[in-house]
Structures are given as C-alpha cells and as structure tokens.
Amino acid sequence: MYKCGSYPVTDKTAISGGIFSANILCPDIAAMAKPGQFAHIKLEGFTLRRPISICGIDRVNGTIRIVFEVRGAGTAKLSHINTGDNLDLLAPLGNGFTLPELAENERAIFVGGGIGVPPLLAAAAVYREQATAILGFRSYDKIILANDFRSIGAEVFTCTDDGSVGMKGQVTVQLKDLLQKGGVGRVFACGPLAMLTTVSQITESFGVPTEVSLEERMGCGVGACAVCACKANKDGKAFMARVCKDGPVFGVKNGEFVALDKEGV
Ligand SMILES: Cc1cc2nc3c(=O)[nH]c(=O)nc-3n(C[C@H](O)[C@H](O)[C@H](O)COP(=O)(O)OP(=O)(O)OC[C@H]3O[C@@H](n4cnc5c(N)ncnc54)[C@H](O)[C@@H]3O)c2cc1C
C-alpha cells in the first residue's frame, strides 16, 4: 500500500555542500513507512519522478525526512523547495529492511557510502545502542549524518578517501576489523555497487546475514515499467528483479542479491 498526494515541507536545511535535508508533513505516509523504503517525488516540469530514500520516520509528528544530493536537473529543482511548499509524493514504495530482533549481546552494523547513508539512519534508529555505523565519504566536507547516528545512540566510525577525518581508506577495511571481533548479528549496507559487492563478499565469508539497498535508474517506481530491472535470485533461480518493487533492499546469498520476500537471509 502506498499513498499519492501533495504534502507540505515543514523545514529544509543545507547539511553539506550540495546536500539538503527536508522534513515533510505526511501523517498517512509516516504511519506506514518502514526504514529502507523510498518516496518517489514529482517535480514541476519533469515527467519522471525522482526516487529518494526515507531517512527518518516520526510517527508522533506525522513527518518523514529526506536527505538528498544535487546530482542533475531534478534534484537541483528539489533543492529549491522551501518550508511551506508542497511536494507531490508517491510513498512509501519498495521493500524496506527486515530489521529482525537481535540477541542482547549482538550488534547490527550499518555500512554507508556517500549519499547511500540516509536510508541507514532510519534503520539504525530501530537498534539504537546496538547499532554501529561505518560511514564512508570522499572528504571531510562531504560528511553527513554522523552526528545523527551518534544522537540515536549508535557507535560511529568515519572513513574518508583522503584521510581528512577518521580512518583513511575504505569502509570495508573497518567492517572486516569489526567482524573479526565477533558479536555481529546482521549487516545493512547502502552505497555504490562496488562497495556493496565487497561488503557482501566479506560478510558472507564471516557467515553474517546481510541486507543491501540497491540504486537503479527508475521509471514508474511501482513495478510496472521494468526500467530498474537488475539481475537477482529468487527461490534459487536467476530472475530480473525490479529494484523499485522487489527491492530496493535485497538479501545476499552465494554472491548474489536475493529477493527478500521469499528467501530471507
Ligand atoms: C531507491 C533509491 C533511493 C535513492 N535515495 C536517494 C537519497 O536518499 N538521496 C539522494 O540524494 N539520492 C537518492 N537516490 C538517487 C536519486 O534518485 C538520483 O540522484 C536522482 O534521481 C537524480 O535525478 P536528477 O534529475 O537530479 O539527475 P539526472 O541524472 O538528470 O536524472 C535523469 C534521470 O535519471 C534518473 N536517475 C539519475 N540518477 C539516478 C540514480 N542514481 N538512481 C536512480 N535514478 C537515477 C532520474 O530519476 C531521472 O529519471 C536514490 C535512488 C534510488 C533508486
């Protein structure tokens, strides 16, 4: 089930160079939304909607939060919205993270790369002090949401490509280090495909169940047009998954992305 409607923006701020955060008052969507789902946003003058992950869900105030980076004309247009403007949303769409309960002594690790970090914040908020976030960015001026993860109680490791903040290098080095220490119940990841592939290889070698959120260019957002088709596995058979409807969150099994509805992880 999803809703389609016009909803007011309650606040919007720039949180880093070319990256913005906005809260939208949409109680019916906030009541249904799950971490890992996304909003498909219609912008004036554009035929196709733009998919943006749900970064925060506040059921008490009836709002969802989005965090987005200006990439092209659509997100540039979105960056010009102001408090009080209405946004045309189709949401919540897709399958979110499964977020199973962990044993008391287990941790959930969230591995995010760049603009892949936002959907992980809503998911980490479910685990609070049991969450560890490993967040990777190009440089210190691109860091987003690290303090938001801290404020929900998560332990945070920051990695930058140039070493300007935190560990110099890739998130996967830090991930391996934490997995070697043990006690990890599940890993959740979102970011560039190469990062997700390496994360999956590492977590499979440690036998830790993993969920990844994939990004593909999208058309309709509801599974009708198949623009976002990608190779995945379901019931042991290869199939072309629609990232919008079968994902964007997939499990990982034997080096392949698997549809979570049937396979679980
Ligand atoms: C499930 C999902 C969740 C996402 N969540 C976020 C988020 O939380 N924050 C964020 O900043 N970005 C997110 N993205 C990426 C975001 O949708 C694109 O950056 C955006 O659509 C680019 O539009 P544009 O008009 O600015 O760029 P253009 O390149 O001009 O877009 C042209 C067309 O390509 C599509 N497109 C371009 N890049 C992408 C892309 N990477 N993924 C999907 N479609 C693309 C656009 O929808 C549009 O139809 C997400 C993508 C997906 C699939």
Q: What span, in angstroms and rounded, lies between the C-alpha atoms of 195 and 198?
A: 5
> Which of ligand 1's atoms lies nearest the C-alpha of 54?
8
Burial of 251 (0-12, 13-18, 19+ CB in 10 A): buried
- Counting residues of the chain whose pLDDT is more than 70, the rounded percentage is 98
In tens, the pLDDT along 173-211 reads 999 999 999 999 999 999 999 999 999 999 999 999 999
Position 227 pLDDT exceeds 80: no
- Counting residues of the chain whose pLDDT is more than 90, the rounded percentage is 76
Burial of 47 (0-12, 13-18, 19+ CB in 10 A): exposed
Cα atoms in the 13 Å half-sphere on the side-chain side of 239: 14
> Which of ligand 1's atoms lies nearest the C-alpha of 78?
26
Helix 171-181 / helix 193-206 crossing angle, nearest 10 deg:
10
Alpha helices in the chain (DSSP H): 27-32, 73-78, 118-127, 146-151, 171-181, 193-206, 260-263
Region 207-221: what's the mean pLDDT?
87
Least confident of 9-18, 90-99, 156-165, 244-253: 244-253
Task: Choose one of 54, 75, 93: the last residue of a domain.
Answer: 93
pLDDT at position 258 = 85
pLDDT at position 261 = 67
Residues 8 and 87 in one domain: yes
46 alpha carbon to ligand 1 midpoint, in Å?
13
Position 262 pLDDT exceeds 80: no
Task: Choose one of 56, 72, 93: the last residue of a domain.
Answer: 93
Q: What span, in angstroms and rounded, lies between the C-alpha atoms of 99 and 92?
A: 17
Task: Choose one of 37, 58, 93: the last residue of a domain.
Answer: 93
Q: Of 57, 75, 148, 196, which is best to mutate to test ligand 1, by the most ligand atoms within 8 angstroms of its C-beta?
A: 75
In the structure, what pLDDT confidence band is assigned to residue 42 with cuts at 50, 70 and 90?
Answer: very high
66 alpha carbon to ligand 1 midpoint, in Å?
13
Residues 80 and 139 in one domain: no
pLDDT at position 235 = 78
What residues make up the domain containing 49? Answer: 3-93
pLDDT at position 265 = 55
Q: Are 29 and 92 contacting, i.e. CB atoms less than 8 angstroms apart?
A: yes
Q: Name the pairing type of β-strands 86-93 and 38-42.
A: antiparallel
pLDDT at position 255 = 84
pLDDT at position 263 = 45
Residues 193 and 258 in one domain: no
Q: What span, in angstroms and rounded, lies between the C-alpha atoms of 92 and 51?
A: 11
In the structure, what pLDDT confidence band is assigned to residue 256 with cuts at 50, 70 and 90?
Answer: confident
> Which of ligand 1's atoms lies nearest the C-alpha of 94?
1
Residues 62 and 109 in one domain: no
72 C-beta closer than 6 A to ligand 1: yes
Q: What span, in angstroms and rounded, lies between the C-alpha atoms of 198 and 193?
A: 9
Residues 106 and 209 in one domain: yes
CATH of the domain at 21: 2.40.30.10
Q: Domain total for the chain?
A: 3
The residue among 85, 79, 38 whose CA lies nearest residue 57 is: 38
Residues 7 and 32 in one domain: yes
What distances in angstroms separate CA 72 from CA 29, 68, 69, 75, 78, one per listed residue?
Answer: 26, 11, 9, 6, 10
